[in-house]
Structure 1
């Protein structure tokens, strides 16, 4: 490294918004960045869900943004000030965004700067990190670091054609899919509709209704129950749609929306693209039609037809994911304590 990257500390929401064009360009350049690191996802999250002190590091070399660590400090009821990544809680993959080839230099400077800011937080907690994440880079001397396994994210590698699906998904699951499709056809006139700019609001409303109805049968609130979470999604959805990162699909039966799938997509120019199955909702009164299987089966076949490489079920080891040929992909939680009494 000929010179250290220059760091700008972003501590106000307006500063985060001002970063959007550079952030978007950097995100496009990072081949492993998911939609969950995009400004379309994280800025609405911070505006509506985030609580605490924004502590985001923007690192540049010769004026070019080469690294972004979207972080904030949250003081919990126990009095501990934790340095979290933006998006925690509602986001399945968390990470920094770094231009390829700059990972070691950017993280070395980021650790140096965070050491200088150590009076603002007590511990850094970075969950849901994938293997190879920049946030897994070795910490300098003086930091203490502990890494533990976090919740796996099952994913299915997709074949190149629908005819080859049987090489990934069991014959029984494919046979069951044909059976439930036949039942749905006998029950009415099923058809799919993908949200566009005009229908995105009504389809999201249907998702909220169906998701809540499903969780009411368990006498529990769903993850979409919070008004703040709903507001973040309402703000993010149009931006994700414009960026080509959203697939929000409704299954209609006899003119009624009976199931909705909310998925995110890697951008079109990305190699080995993934579909991320984020959340779904369906009418619990139609359990006999297996709407969950209809949703996943449709998403799977569409992803194969469009040349996607992976169907990512995101975190959680629910049994149904493995019916579709998914295998666990590891993730990690890193906990770091900064050095004391050090300044750059």
Structure 2
């Protein structure tokens, strides 16, 4: 614990799951006060993720409080391969990482988290993946007193949080006409969009995953999406997030039958479509599923305070039709000065991995999830191709 001159600032380390569970109310309040927070830093998402993927004894959450009020949090965990590392909670199924800082006390929170993390990382390199431009983690990076380095990470695509008509207006004339015709066809078929209430989330997530598997049958579905632990995580997290207005689950019905379902997540300034499933028979009916889904997500994201509509990781062709802006995440490496050789070793490993990934991508452009395969991480998440 450390204290400022007024005796009000405390920095602690949470290592036990029950203690982290007890943080829910004040964590949620901090998440709402943090201007850079994404849905993947919500307590509902992280706590549920740990129940499915966490390893007992590895939890490392740095907490900063001023006068008893939580003003900063860094949700991390300890791994030992290929070396001692502190890495983000949320793993490969989370598109973005960030620390949480109180927007009304940012400087104090950053300083406290820097000191707490410096103490926690006595024997480990801090490896922060998928940090968005403008994220609070960049402030921590700049304040870090030891050694540090930064690398590019995944590319994400973003649109303004505007209604679908405004998004279509960004397209060229012929493409805009085709998109409007596709939406008219969806309406003519009578496809109905139905929001799912909290008490029906579990069943709707099951339907979503069944349709997701069906749509990718024979085409290399992400195997993590078929595992019970992933389903359990989505059900747990979505229940809380739908209840709290941080997520929406939707079902799309044709002739009374659910033919598609999707899950979108949101925070104060970012809304994104996370995962969907669609009956392959919709292709036979010439239904443009991506346009159908985006219209509903855009309706949800619209508003002066929503910020951006994120298409999340990956640059698949169907996303590029909308003319999104590419945004490149960063990978931030931090270590104590005494651990500079370890940080350099980690950087060399990542450089070699990136070169191997580029080689695989050039020789096998149709290969799926090659970055995750080469990284040795579970291909569990929002890797672009897996979520289409």
TM band (smaller chain) = 0.7 to 0.9
TM superposition score normalised by structure 2:
0.77
- d(CA) in 2 for partners of 1:23 and 1:197? 21
Q: Which residue of 2 aligns with 1:179?
A: 181
CA distance 1:110–1:339, shift in 2 (3 Å): farther
CA distance 1:181–1:57, shift in 2 (3 Å): same
Q: Which residue of 2 aligns with 1:283?
A: 279
For 1:99, which of 98, 102, 105 is the aligned residue? Answer: 102
Q: Which residue of 2 aligns with 1:206?
A: 207
User: 5+ unaligned residues in a row in structure 1: which ranges?
Assistant: none
- d(CA) in 2 for partners of 1:305 and 1:162? 12
CA contact (8 A) 1:214 1:284 kept: yes
- d(CA) in 2 for partners of 1:337 and 1:307? 36
- d(CA) in 2 for partners of 1:6 and 1:117? 15
Q: Which residue of 1 aligns with 2:117?
A: 114
* Number of corresponding residues: 330
Q: Which residue of 2 aligns with 1:57?
A: 62
Q: Does 1:243 align with 2:244?
A: yes
Q: Which residue of 2 aligns with 1:48?
A: 52
Greater Cα shift, 106-115 or 83-92 = 106-115
Which has more helix, going by share of residues? 2
Listed as ranges, the matches of 1:252-267 within 5 Å are 252-266=253-267
For residues 267-312 of structure 1, give each alpha carbon's deviation from its aligned partner in whole angstroms, at most 9, with x where no partner exists.
Answer: xxx4xx4321111111123223222232223333454489844211
For residues 313-334 of structure 1, give each alpha carbon's deviation from its aligned partner in whole angstroms, at most 9, with x where no partner exists.
Answer: 1111112212123111221101
Q: Does 1:74 align with 2:79?
A: yes
Q: Secondary structure at the match of 1:292?
A: helix
- d(CA) in 1 for partners of 2:164 and 2:275? 24
Aligned Cα root-mean-square deviation (Å): 2.5
CA distance 1:147–1:307, shift in 2 (3 Å): closer
Greater Cα shift, 315-324 or 203-212 = 315-324
CA distance 1:163–1:19, shift in 2 (3 Å): closer
CA distance 1:139–1:310, shift in 2 (3 Å): closer
Q: Secondary structure at the match of 1:224?
A: helix
CA distance 1:307–1:254, shift in 2 (3 Å): farther
- d(CA) in 1 for partners of 2:258 and 2:78? 41
Greater Cα shift, 177-186 or 245-254 = 177-186
For residues 24-76 of structure 1, give each alpha carbon's deviation from its aligned partner in whole angstroms, at most 9, with x where no partner exists.
Answer: 11111112212211111111111112235011111112222111111110223
TM superposition score normalised by structure 1:
0.86
Q: Secondary structure at the match of 2:127?
A: strand
CA contact (8 A) 2:208 2:277 kept: yes
Q: Does 1:22 align with 2:26?
A: yes
For residues 147-169 of structure 1, give each alpha carbon's deviation from its aligned partner in whole angstroms, at most 9, with x where no partner exists.
Answer: 0111122111144x665444424
